[in-house]
A and B are shown apart, each in its own frame.
Chain A
């Protein structure tokens, strides 16, 4: 079913990024930098890795994705619309009065598993999902994307201990490691290095990956679990604002909204990567 080649997925990423910007521009709100940062990860998860679709979404045997860094919901909305969970034009209501498409994921939107937004919540829920799947011998895999700033939440570390203790090798946590949080670089706010050694010490199998390399992401996420009986932790090295030169690695684009002119420049930059995919 999911047979798109790498060139097609690269084009999809450019298309997703263009749409993220377009809908954030329309809403005059959104978490721009982080949404562009996780786009390629979501692209690979939904188009190549996970067994979840509008057709099996009501089955308990679907794979689960819980977005712990809920604020980057615009990327998730665009990917879910592309998967056919809802009509893409619904996203024109993003953050508008009484729209289900609010600034964090909610189950009011088909395709979304859990209401997130408070940081440090997604992983524990995933632990419960993964444990239930183990008890059921269902083969369900469970995924989450964690933000790097979010790693300072103590609740994550409770869940890291739990996942290793229960040998949840059907669980994969992906760190969106763009190294910038709302105030400053992580290293200044609350350093998390050496994050790989910390997770290894907590009993997880850890791999680094270029979080924008479609093939590398595919290879990494296709080889789960990295070790039998261990949960898998993917350190995805990413760039906040990826794909738009003036947004990349720039703090103010954490939740910056492009002006009309900035949007046009950004769309033009993205169109070079995907000439036929940019929306009008």
Chain B
């Protein structure tokens, strides 16, 4: 069980910006491409420090991705930064054709993802991005849970020679949900705690509530849960899922995304095809006009809060 106190850190967005600045110090081929989003992307300091390495596109997401593809094909490390809602919908054909199909190793950064802009409405939510990108060949999909994973993922992305999509939100996240054991890898789930009664597979900013839910289950019911940060949704770490699900424990998947087409359905599909018929619950945003409010309020409304997740877990073992 997780017993150590979790230290609250910065927004993953801030860590992203700081990491890019550190990388740009020694890498003059690193470019940030923004669609009038340097403020919301916390990239103003980057632009001040490296004015020659930031490319402003204006509010034109299709052009953002096309230009980034063109930079990448000229051997530049192009980080295309835009709110996830616009990046993965408005520019989807550019992502599919100019980045993935043409194999231009753009690093697509979806900021203020999920329901980070909760009160601004569905126009500003990205609850479809995992689903649409999972169906496109040649792209990794990553949602870091904490500051540590964010820095690791950005540093890895900078070295990758294939396309990657990274998304994160605005809210402060823990510095690190578990001690760094030096094993972070894109494509490998990160086991934050091991328990006997449930397995939580979660991704992005939905991981932290799972860690808290595991604590509540322990305190209130003396039950223990394995909690995994599946920061990489594609490629899916099927070896880990197989290992953890084989014992037959109830599996709960949790994501800040539609229940359709995201992490939960990816895991369910794998388990079914492997003959792993555990009890399974996919927790995410249901197929309805999404309620509006803060990210916390929306999480609570749809059962992605620590308490909601605890109740879901208990409902799976009690008739």
A161 lies within 8 A of B66 (CB): no
Q: Which of A45-53, A116-124, A185-193, A237-245 lies at the binding interface? A: A116-124
Contacts of A162 in B (CB 8 A): 57-58, 60, 63, 67
Q: Which A residues are CB-close (under 8 A) to B66?
A: 121, 123-125, 127-128, 155, 159
Interface residues of A in 128-146 (CB under 8 A from B): 128-133, 135-136
Contact A129 B93 (CB under 8 A): no
Smallest distance from the beta carbon of A141 to chain B beta carbons, Å?
13
In the complex, are the beta carbons of B75 and A60 less than 8 A apart?
yes
Chain A interface mostly: helix
Which residues in A have their C-beta under 8 angstroms from that of B25?
Answer: none
A165: B residues at CB distance < 8 A: 58
A121 to B76, CA, bound (A): 19
A132 contacts B94, CB within 8 Å? no
State whether the Cβ of A126 lies closer than 8 Å to any Cβ in chain B: yes
Instruction: Say whether A90 faces chain B, with CB atoms less than 8 Å apart.
Output: no
Cα–Cα distance between A64 and B95 once the two chains are bound (Å): 21
> In whole Å, how far is B90's beta carbon from the nearest beta carbon of chain A?
10
Residues of chain A within 8 A (CB-CB) of B71 are 128-129, 131-132
Partner of B73, one of A113, A117, A136, A158: A113
A158 to B86, CA, bound (A): 15
Contact B74 A115 (CB under 8 A): no
**Contact residues, B47-87 vs A (CB, 8 A):** 52, 55, 57-58, 60, 62-63, 65-76, 78
- Is A107 part of the contact surface with B, judged by Cβ < 8 Å? yes
For chain A, the bracket of interface size reads: 20 to 34
Pairwise interchain contact B63-A158, C-beta atoms closer than 8 A: yes
Question: Would you call A114 an interface residue if the criterion is a C-beta within 8 Å of the partner chain's C-beta atoms?
Answer: yes
Contact with B along A136-178 (1 / 0, CB 8 A): 1000000000000000001100110110010000000000000
CB distance from A144 to the nearest CB of B (A): 11
For residue B200, give the distance in angstroms from its CB to the closest CB of chain A: 40
Interface size class of B (residues with CB under 8 A): 20 to 34
Chain A residues with CB under 8 A of B67:
124-125, 127-128, 131, 159, 162
User: Known contacts A124-B62, A127-B70, A162-B67; is A107 also within 8 Å of B102 by CB?
Assistant: yes
Of A107, A117, A155, the residue contacting B63 (CB under 8 A) is A155
Measured between C-beta atoms, what is the minimum distance from B92 to chain A in Å?
11
Whether A114 touches B63, Cβ cut-off 8 Å, given contacts A128-B70, A161-B58, is: no
B73 touches A128 (CB 8 A): yes
A42 to B184, CA, bound (A): 49
Q: In the complex, what residues of A have CB within 8 A of residue B104's CB? A: 114
Closest to A70 in B: B97
Residue of A nearest to B69 (CB): A125
Contact pick for B68, options A123, A128, A158, CB 8 Å: A128
CA distance A146 to B5 in the complex (A): 59
CA distance A277 to B18 in the complex (A): 62
In the bound complex, what is the Cα–Cα distance between A105 and B67 (angstroms)? 19
A158 touching B72, Cβ below 8 Å: no
Contact B70 A132, beta carbon cutoff 8 Å: yes
Residue-wise, chain A 84-128 has the 8 Å CB interface mask toward B (1 for contact) of 000000000000000000000001000001111110110111111
* 18 A–B contacts, CB within 8 A, in A order: A113-B73, A115-B97, A118-B97, A124-B66, A124-B69, A124-B98, A125-B67, A125-B98, A127-B66, A127-B70, A129-B71, A132-B74, A132-B75, A135-B76, A136-B74, A154-B62, A155-B63, A161-B60
List 14 extra interface pairs beyond A114-B73, A155-B62, CB under 8 A.
Answer: A114-B98, A115-B97, A116-B97, A117-B97, A118-B97, A121-B93, A124-B67, A124-B94, A127-B67, A128-B78, A132-B71, A158-B60, A162-B57, A162-B67
The 3 closest A-B pairs by CB, nearest first: A128-B70, A124-B66, A132-B74
